[in-house]
Amino acid sequence: MGFDGEYEASTWGWVADQVEAYEASNGAEANTLRDTGIPIMIITTVGHKSGKVRKVPLMRVEHEGEYAIIASKGGAPAHPGWYHNLMADPNILVQDGPAPFETDVRIVTGEERAAWWERAVAVFPPYAEYQEKTDREIPVFVSRAAGQ
């Protein structure tokens, strides 16, 4: 997968600003959700329609070298746009610190999803409220470094 295509920043100003600050500081700055102190990571995908490189800060939910990627969209009725990018191509970059690394993602279900969901809610309790707000089951992806 190539991530050297044209980068298109988020139309949400705070998201674009956070990604820019995080990358410029190699993850030393802008590494929490606003003023909460809760750590974030950056995922990089390629737009399934546009082909453009997209970057999104998400809550950092890590366990034994794997990362949960929670497609909550704040409990909205529809999945976030980047969900469709992951479904179209599971090869993404994750940046949790100084440098991004290639990963493969997969949707988890059943007991595995329940375990990751519990970890995610422990890191970011509003996920539980988001699930209550929507009729859709919030998708949980797990990201593993490519080749592992």
pLDDT in tens, 44-56: 999 999 999 999 9
pLDDT at 21 over 60: yes
Q: Name the residue range of residue 102's domain.
A: 13-145
In a domain, 49, yes or no: yes
> What mean pLDDT comes out for the span 64-74?
96
pLDDT tens per residue, range 73-99: 999 999 999 999 999 999 999 999 998
- What phi-psi label fits residue 125: left (phi over 0), alpha (psi between -120 and 50 degrees) or beta? alpha
End-to-end CA distance of the chain: 17
In a domain, 5, yes or no: no
pTM: 0.91
In a domain, 50, yes or no: yes
Q: How many CB atoms lie within 10 A of CB 44?
A: 22
In a domain, 1, yes or no: no
Q: What is the CATH number of the domain that holds 98?
A: 2.30.110.10
Q: Which residues contact 24 (CB under 8 A, 6 or more apart)?
A: none
On average, the pLDDT of the chain sits at 92
Confidence at residue 2, expressed as pLDDT on a 0 to 100 scale: 58
Domain count along the chain: 1
Give the range among 2-6, 94-98, 107-111 with minimum mean pLDDT: 2-6
pLDDT at 1 over 50: no
